[in-house]
């Protein structure tokens, strides 16, 4: 079965769609890998507390992301019902509880390009996840 959304909906397009809202998950060293050691105290850092990893932002533990390692991750579309009026009255956190292992294409450039091709997309705009929070 094709992963091309247009074909799955029975649409015949004379062009390949463009995804203008595609997100990636930053690598664990995204905020530190290019920063000199003497400046790393000024960027997002990792801290482990009670066996869990958190971000340290401005000297404070951030709880903006429940699991900043992204693994496991909430399933795509987990908030669909919420954005369609939330007929069951669930909280967003309840909707995000069902998790899956982090797919390779969420962080690997090569794997993402393969998925983009499989989906029949002409291209994507990629937006960071943490980069828009911090």
Integer Cα distance of 66 and 1 in angstroms: 34
Q: Is the pLDDT of residue 3 over 80?
A: no
> Alpha-carbon torsion 89, 92, 93, 94, what sign?
positive
| 3-class secondary structure, 126 | strand
Residue-wise pLDDT tens digits, 61-104? 999 988 999 999 999 899 999 999 999 999 999 999 999 999 99
- Residue 5's pLDDT band, with cuts at 50, 70 and 90, is low
Residue-wise pLDDT tens digits, 6-62? 667 777 889 999 999 998 999 999 988 999 999 988 999 999 999 999 999 989 999
Domain regions of the chain by residue span:
28-69
């Amino acid at each position: 079965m094709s992963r091309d959304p247009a074909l799955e909906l029975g649409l015949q397009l004379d062009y390949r769609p463009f995804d203008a809202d595609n997100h990636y998950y930053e690598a664990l060293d995204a905020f530190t890998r290019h920063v000199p050691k003497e400046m790393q105290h000024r960027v997002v850092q990792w801290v482990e507390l009670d066996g869990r990893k958190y971000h340290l932002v401005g000297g404070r533990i951030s709880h903006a992301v429940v699991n900043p390692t992204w693994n496991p991750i909430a399933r795509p579309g987990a908030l669909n019902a919420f954005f369609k009026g939330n007929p069951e009255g669930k909280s967003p956190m309840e909707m995000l509880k069902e998790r899956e292992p982090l797919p390779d294409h969420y962080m690997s450039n090569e794997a993402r390009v393969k998925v983009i091709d499989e989906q029949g997309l002409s291209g994507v705009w990629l937006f960071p996840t943490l980069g828009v929070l911090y």
